[in-house]
Amino acid sequence: MAAIPAAVDRAYGVTNIKSHIPIILDTDDHNYDAWRELILTHCQSFDVAGHLDGTLVPADDVDTVWTKKDGLVKLWLYGTLSKNLLKSTFKTGGTARYIWLRIENFFRNNKEARAIQLDHDLRNKEI
């Protein structure tokens, strides 16, 4: 009797993240909350949300299954960022959780500077 092939994880079937997440996170579009919700929902539906919230951790230092899935989630995150945002938040290494927190901190901890920028933009709008 032939061995039953291992089931391919559905998450690896996502070849184009932009077809699942229709918006690109950009500092100028003020779409962080919508982007965050779409990414969380997407990751929950593919059972990898734990890579973002930190509940999925590697079993040991050589947990290749976890490392591959974490790399996939990192690709999804980076694939939905604008070029300018990617340049300002990209760092080599790190986990998907680390990237998730870095992006969140970029938008959440930057409120004062963003308010000044928005005020400046509003005052310079042509009517």
What is the arithmetic mean of pLDDT over 80-90?
Answer: 90
Q: Is position 107 within any domain?
A: yes
Q: Is position 68 within any domain?
A: yes
Q: Can you tell me the distance from the alpha carbon of 60 to that of 43, in angstroms, rounded to the nearest whole number?
A: 23
Q: Is position 91 within any domain?
A: yes
What the block records as the tokens of 108 is 């959440």
**48-70 pLDDT tens trace:** 999 999 998 998 888 999 999 99
Q: Can you tell me the distance from the alpha carbon of 82 to that of 84, in angstroms, rounded to the nearest whole number?
A: 6
Phi, psi of 4, deg, nearest 5: -80, 125
Count CB-CB contacts under 10 A for residue 22. Answer: 9
Q: Is position 6 within any domain?
A: no
**Number of domains making up the chain:** 1
Q: Can you tell me the distance from the alpha carbon of 51 to that of 99, in angstroms, rounded to the nearest whole number?
A: 10
Confidence of residue 29 (pLDDT cuts 50, 70, 90): confident
Q: Is position 60 within any domain?
A: yes
What domain range is 39 assigned to? 17-123
Q: Is position 113 within any domain?
A: yes
